[in-house]
Amino acid sequence: MFGILSYGAYVPMFRLSRDQIAKAWGGGSGAGEKAVANFDEDSLTMGVEAAVDCLQGIDHKSIDALYFVSLTHPYQEKQAASIIAEVLDLKPDTFTLDIDNSPRGATSAFRLAADAIASGSAKKVLVIASDCRVTAPHSGDEMLFGDGAAAFLLGDAKPAVTIDNAYHAFNSFMDTWRLPNEPFNRTWEDRFIFGEGYSKIAPQAVAAALKQFKATIKDFAKVVLYAPDQRRHTELARALGVDAKTQLQEAFFNNIGHTGSAFVPMMLVAALQEAKAGDKILTFNYGDGCDVHALTVTAGIEKLRNRRGIKKYLASKLPVSYYQQYLIFRDLVIEEPGGRATRTSSLPVLWRERKNLVSLIGQKCRVCGTVNFPLQRLCIECQTEGEFDDYPIWDKKGKIFTFSMDERTVQPVAPSVACIMDLEGGGRFYGNITDRDPATIDVGQEVEFTFRNIHDGGGLHNYFWKMRTVRG
């Protein structure tokens, strides 16, 4: 039976209060807050975080295909899925695919995964959805949009959640779009895009799906609904007869925001974190058409309780200090050029050192057992040459041995915090700490790895690993 073998999610550490946004533009107040990616995060790095959460205790080499779904891919001509596959150290013959242009891309990817598994071309497929959309300052989208990611491992070997039925329909209705090389979304007047679009199309699609499934809305313990905003979410639930108190899955508009292609996947993760064996879940996704899925939770869900998911990441947060800092995070402020040289990139170095830089693979000496990082020719302890086994360190936690702070940093958030980390199991790592409150950093504090964009230079994104205090 085809279904979900595992799930994971990611919510960025920073939150921007909507009161801050309103006051920045001379307005009154706004309800709640939204999740904001740090200056060193993008859709790719957040997708890696969700995948790491999803793949706890799972052999990465067992994955046959990876689909990365986003409306905000870091490159227009360069596959992000292949970079993520390198980060996760998947096997070389893993099939990789980028999916974009529609908020319902993740649930459409479920269909592709089902077909791949049914045909025998794959046994396990990893689907990642992630978005970090830039919005025009002083716009409705600025209040509405948030950042986040979700990941699902799909297969047919004892799934934790079976996917029992699926309904798909396309619709070319234009409500939201973005042209090439434009930073912000475009839309039309509300009465038209909702009256002729979402508010008409969505109920019809769910009704058609339920008829195909031979089910009623009351058959489902939880209902996950795509909506462009909180008002339409409430209206659609009411139109479908969904019990708002017992059936309707929270959409997190007030504490995360609308996360684009990750919106429905993140809600589904939240629903699964609370689900029990036997629960039936209905999901509805929308964007240039509709995807509807009927799912059943099995006893295997209990094996996934250690995922951080939405619940644990929501509880771990830091406030954006001021509205202008958020604008700097999103590169919406033109700053005075610094007095230092412009950063560059070396493709030969990035390619040659990809095992170090991207996959974060160290070495363990076969003679003395010492962990070496970065990769060495001679063991740093016993000086033996070439007697090493690969030793991944990206999944290791550690403790701060020592640290320093630089107030004159060129990065958007000062001070820059660098530290030496003593890894569990041996070895040391030197790097930067991100997502941090400098006042709380101390020797002996437990930290973990997080994949980030170190800097942009030479027209390239330079990805590497940083550290952060343990979340969740």
Q: How far apart are the C-alpha atoms of 372 and 382, rounded to whole Å?
A: 11
Residues 27 and 116: their CA atoms lie apart, in Å, by: 51
Q: Is residue 289 part of a domain?
A: yes
Q: Of 279, 297, 329, which marks where a domain is finished?
A: 329
If asked whether residues 300 and 407 sit together in one domain, one would say: no
pLDDT score recorded for residue 334: 82
411 and 292 belong to one structural domain: no
What does the pLDDT read at residue 31?
Answer: 87
Please give the pLDDT value at position 414.
Answer: 86
d(CA 341, CA 331): 19
Q: Output the tens digit of pLDDT for each of the chain's 472 residues.
A: 999 999 999 999 999 999 999 999 988 778 899 999 999 999 999 999 999 999 999 999 999 999 999 999 999 999 999 999 999 999 999 999 999 999 999 999 999 999 999 999 999 999 999 999 999 999 999 999 999 999 999 999 999 999 999 999 999 999 999 999 899 999 999 999 999 999 999 999 999 999 999 999 999 999 999 999 999 999 999 999 999 999 999 999 999 999 999 999 999 999 999 999 999 999 999 999 999 999 999 999 999 999 999 999 999 999 999 999 999 999 999 877 766 667 788 889 889 999 989 999 999 999 999 999 999 999 999 999 999 999 999 999 999 999 999 988 777 888 999 999 999 999 999 999 999 999 999 999 999 999 999 999 889 999 999 999 999 7
Cβ contacts of 75 within 8 Å, gap of 6 or more = 461
CATH of residue 443's domain is 2.40.50.840
287 located within any domain: yes
Where among 329, 355, 378 does a domain terminate? 329
The predicted pLDDT at position 339 comes to: 60
Separation CA 256–CA 250 (nearest Å): 11
Nearest-Å Rg of the Cα atoms of the chain is 23
Residue 356 lies in a domain: no
Tell me the pairing of strands 124-131 and 148-155. Answer: antiparallel
Q: Could you tell me if residue 390 is inside a domain?
A: no
Q: 67 and 208 in one domain?
A: yes
Listed in sequence order, the residues at least 6 apart from 70 whose beta carbon sits closer than 8 Å to its beta carbon are 43, 44, 47, 80, 98, 99, 100, 105, 129, 130, 131, 260, 261
Residues 94 and 214 in one domain: yes
53 φ, ψ (degrees, to nearest 5)? -65, -40
Give the number of domains in the chain. Answer: 2
> What pLDDT was estimated at residue 338?
66
- Residue 198 within a domain: yes
Task: Note whether 402 and 322 are same-domain residues.
Answer: no
Are residues 403 and 271 located together in one domain of the fold?
no
**245 part of a folded domain:** yes
Q: Cα-flanking dihedrals φ and ψ of residue 262, to 5°? A: -90, 0
Residue 375 lies in a domain: no
414 in the same domain as 299: no
Assess if residue 83 is contained within a domain. Answer: yes
CATH number at residue 119: 3.40.47.10
> What is this structure's pTM?
0.96
Regarding whether 190 and 53 lie in a shared domain, the answer is yes
| Parent domain of 467 | 395-472
Tell me, yes or no, whether 136 and 266 share the same domain. yes
Residues 317 and 458 in one domain: no
Q: Of the residues 313, 329, 345, which one is the last residue of a structural domain?
A: 329
- Considering the domain architecture, whether residues 15 and 119 belong to the same structural domain is answered as yes
* 307 and 409, same domain (yes or no): no
